[in-house]
Amino acid sequence: MSNYYEIETKYGAGVYAKQQLSIVRGQGAMLWDADGNAYIDCSSGHGVANLGHAHPKVAAAVAEQANTLITLFESFPNDKRAALMEKMAGLVPGLNRVFFGNSGTESVEAAIKFARLSTGRPNIVAAMRAFHGRTYGALSATFNKKYREGFEPLLPGFSHASYNNIEALEKAITEQTAAVLLEVVQGEGGVYPASAEYIQAARRICDERGALLIVDEIQSGFGRTGKMFAIMHYGVTPDILTCAKSLAGGVPMGAVLIGEKVRNLVPGVHGSTFGGNPLSCAAALAALSVIEEENLPGQAAEKGAYLMEKLKAIQSPNIREVRGLGLMIGIELKVKVAPYLKALQERKIIALNAGMTVIRLLPPLVITYEQIDTVVAALSEVLVMDMSNE
């Protein structure tokens, strides 16, 4: 047995609830612990490993670039960055520019700044149950008080309206609203997909009142929901789209896709030391190629439908609802999920929570049908148990 848990507990900052399971290797949808035990990964590192772990094309691209040029500030053009910019400018029609950062929360911070700078307005409207990150701007847009407590005062100008509620959105957006910031599928908030009517209304109201529409695709992007981006299910183009997580196949990277209504972006108004570094750009180019070559959005759509059908067939008094889009699925229970996640882990399945009562499944999009069947069998066994006293 390794002592990695003890070492990290001793020397870590203490801000993570450490599990006594040390993971040292991954391949595809599988993870291995320090003792050689194999697990099916239904967390993907909170949605990072869409391509699976240690994809050979990403690994090769990283190794080659590490021997060529690792870091370069964006003031100096670079071959890999230029190629990635051109590639990403074609992902969503109408979003033809890109800003690179290092994470999801940084992408949200940039989007907030760009919206205020473009409109000259101070206010941002987000949704109840929203999660957008942990830095101050993104945290101010995040709804759950457990993330906010202890850090007040947060930034002024932020408000939250009921999700999937058009009337609430109508009331919230005023002449002082710079942008509406929405997840198309709320992840941390419980895996709630937006209705088409809600997203289309958000676009209409923003247009009528001169606000920008920002879509947060940090968890739902790059094939996760069955399309390259979840917004593509709705026939709506946002003004700004934030993404990160699986963009570079596991290498830290974030990006903001920018439409024509975003203005006043002149040299010096924003920046990032590591943003757009050649190593991350090389990884992202490889990852995007894999997404296209292996048709990962199509795989997510088909496998997600298969998994959803299997989950809905589970007969358990503990299940309240199964919902999601593609391979972004939530199983809402009538009881707390912590003991069920523990029981799954004992059966070599790693899953996530989304709040106190939702099991969140975010498997790599390369997960096999055989692996899905194994996951469903474990869930069928676990979810019928009475763990109300644990």
Give the C-alpha separation, 286 to 248, whole Å. 8
Write down the catalytic residue from 216, 222, 229, 261: 216
Structure token digits, residue 309: 């059908």
Give the C-alpha separation, 37 to 39, whole Å. 7
Write down the catalytic residue from 100, 158, 229, 245: 245
269's CB contacts (< 8 A; 6+ apart) are 113, 117
Verify whether residue 245 is a known catalytic residue: yes
Verify whether residue 131 is a known catalytic residue: yes
Write down the catalytic residue from 114, 131, 143, 158: 131
Verify whether residue 216 is a known catalytic residue: yes
Terminal alpha carbon distance of the chain: 26
Q: Which amino acid is present at 317?
A: P
Give the C-alpha separation, 271 to 158, whole Å. 23
Catalytic residues: 131, 216, 245
